[in-house]
Amino acid sequence: MWKPILPALLLIVSPVCLGTHVSQTRRFPNDFLWGVGSSSYQIEGGWNADDKDESIWDVLTHTHPEKIADQSNADISADSYHRWRRDVQMVKELHAGTYRFSLSWPRIMPGGYMNHVSTAGIKYYSNLIDELLRYNITPTVTIYHFELPQKLQELGGWTNPEIIPLFKDFARLVLEMYGDRVKIWTTINEPWHVCEHAYGLDYMAPSYNFPGIPAYLCGHNLLKAHAEVVHMYRDHFQKRQGGRIGISLDTSWPEPRNPDSAEDREASERAMQFYVGWFGHPIFSKHGNYPKVMIERIRNLSKEQDFGIRSRLPEFTTEEIHRIRGTADFFGINHYTSNLVTSNGHNNTGGFPVPSFNHDMGVVESQNEVDWPGSGSVWLRVYPKGMYNLLMWIHREYNSPEIIVTENGVSDRGGLEDYARVDYFNKYLSAVLDAIEDGVNISGYIAWSLMDSYEWKAGFSEKFGFYHVDFTSPQRTRTPKISARVFAQICKTNTIDWNYRPKLEQEQKLVVMAQHPAEEDQSRSSAAQEAISWSLMGALLLVLLR
Ligand code: GAL
């Protein structure tokens, strides 16, 4: 009996009516580019298929499974090496205009050198690109997303300047092979992770755990390699192929722990210069080169630490500064969360190794565990204002570049009823919209991630996908989560509809039942509880309305 009046009651109690959310009429620009992303090692599997050789991640996961949360590896992962047609269907189901994926260097050039190019590897991405184009989906291709051929690592990887011509050779090949069909390129995903997390810490492969020195060598070579590729693209390909090229930097937003403290605000600015400016300043600023604060701090600390007159941060020549400056057609930014920051004084209250990137930066980070909701990852808490602050900072600092958000998303520990992910996207996208309305030039947003995948050191324990992947089934069955339906609606309508919270559909329920009978029981009992509380609320409102 109460059923027909439920929609009316819903309207009465909906948050929009209560005025706690912004009106539904706010729209993203008509030509706004919506997308979803993934990366080769995280989804492809086929780790030794055809003539593919090992990457640094194959070696790390095979030789040190104890370093991975669930001791797993991505040998098969979501098996996209064989299931790419289904992946493209999913992108289409999401109404996304672009699919951002990356190229596995050891799949295309197994040993890292030109002498061995894999026909199977070339064909794999060519097929994927054609399939995307068949559905009018623009491929956004990341040339390097953490997958270095192991052979090159044995030569020192990104710390060896030889990487510059080698990366250029790899890039030349893929621009030649795919550039006729790919119109959005990024050279490198997350240089800060490539350098600091992989060489400074025992985190991303190759897990050097050598703080304070090799990360800066890596950054130096990486910036030159990036610039060489962009110049090559502009000189030989861009006119003919008509695409655009950029880079994807990443950072959490450093929120001053005490906004009234000048010292905390300075720590926040310093953190931005170390995380984003390290790579952003040489490419996007007016004068190029590393940020002044990095040059000065690392030089002074190096001297204090008896390194002599040579700073641990290498120096660019004037010619190199000019060659790197301006080498991006857009600013790609990956962003997930925020930190509270304060200063690490000379007494090193942060307790950082000396020397180290963190000690050089001089910032102590924590998170707001009270007001910022958690997620499936310890490092990721929800603070949408951080997205807004970050976009405004890039806009101010680099004279209003065109920005594409190349990654943003949230993890959980599994399940198809991912309403927390729906909330996250609604809130973060609302922050993006705020920034657009305040004049920031944002042309696209690529959500992370198309499907659950191998989350690096977290293995399969953390899920970021719109699609659930059954990693126990040989077919690696993909099933849309609730968030997939919501994101599809956003891409289709260019708006955020705060009221749109669909329920699990029959086919999804069957998947849950088959895979996790216990989860289904739980969701049934919570559905029953929900029904009871709705009928109680309905009754209460009826009494009030009389
Ligand atoms: C980024 C990375 C992605 C993905 C994401 C979620 O740093 O580029 O590959 O893992 O984080 O943690």
Give the model confidence (pLDDT) of 397-456 as tens digits: 999 999 999 999 999 999 999 999 999 999 999 999 999 999 999 999 999 999 999 999
User: Quick one: average pLDDT of 19-37?
Assistant: 79
User: Quick one: average pLDDT of 16-20?
Assistant: 34
Atom of ligand 1 nearest to the CA of 193: 7
Cα–Cα distance between 106 and 304 in angstroms, integer?
42
Is any ligand 1 atom within 6 A of the Cβ of residue 456? yes
Pull the structure tokens for residue 77.
């992962």
Binning pLDDT at 50, 70 and 90, where does residue 545 land? Answer: very low
Active site residue 44: no
3-state secondary structure of 530: helix
How would you classify the pairing of strands 467-469 and 478-480? Answer: antiparallel
What are 191-195's contacts with CB under 8 Å, separation 24+? 191/219, 191/222, 191/223, 191/226, 191/247, 191/249, 191/278, 191/279, 192/249, 192/250, 192/251, 192/275, 192/278, 192/279, 193/146, 193/250, 194/144, 194/146, 194/158, 194/218, 194/222, 195/158, 195/219, 195/222
Whole-number Å distance, alpha carbon 145 to ligand 1 midpoint, is 9
Is any ligand 1 atom within 6 A of the Cβ of residue 147? no
Which of these, 502, 369, 375, lies nearest to 428 by C-alpha position?
A: 375
Atom of ligand 1 nearest to the CA of 453: 10
Is any ligand 1 atom within 6 A of the Cβ of residue 193? yes
Atom of ligand 1 nearest to the CA of 455: 10
More confident residue, 515 or 456: 456
How would you classify the pairing of strands 363-366 and 338-343? Answer: antiparallel
Binning pLDDT at 50, 70 and 90, where does residue 538 land? Answer: very low
Pull the structure tokens for residue 47.
């780790």
Cα–Cα distance between 307 and 300 in angstroms, integer?
10
Q: Give pLDDT, residue 511.
A: 79
Q: Give pLDDT, residue 516.
A: 59
CB atoms within 10 A of CB 392: 15
What domain range is 293 assigned to? Answer: 2-545
Q: What tens digit of pLDDT does each residue of 45-81 get?
A: 999 999 999 999 999 999 999 999 999 999 999 999 9
Is any ligand 1 atom within 6 A of the Cβ of residue 189? yes
Q: Is 188 exposed, middle or buried (0-12, 13-18, 19+ CB in 10 A)?
A: buried
Binning pLDDT at 50, 70 and 90, where does residue 506 land? Answer: confident
Cα–Cα distance between 249 and 266 in angstroms, integer?
21
Which of these, 427, 411, 393, lies nearest to 270 by C-alpha position?
A: 393
Q: Give pLDDT, residue 19.
A: 33
Q: Is 100 exposed, middle or buried (0-12, 13-18, 19+ CB in 10 A)?
A: buried
Atom of ligand 1 nearest to the CA of 464: 6
Is any ligand 1 atom within 6 A of the Cβ of residue 196? no
User: Quick one: average pLDDT of 120-137?
Assistant: 98
Among 450, 456, 457, residue to substitute to test ligand 1 (most atoms within 8 Å of Cβ) = 456
Given the structure tokens 């198809």, which residue do they identify? 416
| pLDDT for residue 25 is more than 80 | no
Q: Give pLDDT, residue 517.
A: 56
Binning pLDDT at 50, 70 and 90, where does residue 169 land? Answer: very high
Cα–Cα distance between 359 and 301 in angstroms, integer?
9
Whole-number Å distance, alpha carbon 461 to ligand 1 midpoint, is 14
Phi, psi of 253 (to 5 degrees): -85, 125
Whole-number Å distance, alpha carbon 14 to ligand 1 midpoint, is 34
Phi, psi of 124 (to 5 degrees): -55, -50
Question: If you average pLDDT over every residue of the chain, what do you get?
Answer: 92
Binning pLDDT at 50, 70 and 90, where does residue 7 land? Answer: very low
CATH code at position 327: 3.20.20.80
Distance of CA 99 to the CA centre of its chain: 13
Whole-number Å distance, alpha carbon 171 to ligand 1 midpoint, is 22
Prediction pTM value: 0.91
Give me the number of domains the chain comprises.
1
Whole-number Å distance, alpha carbon 449 to ligand 1 midpoint, is 9
Q: Give pLDDT, residue 543.
A: 38
Q: Catalytic pick from 255, 397, 407, 462? A: 407
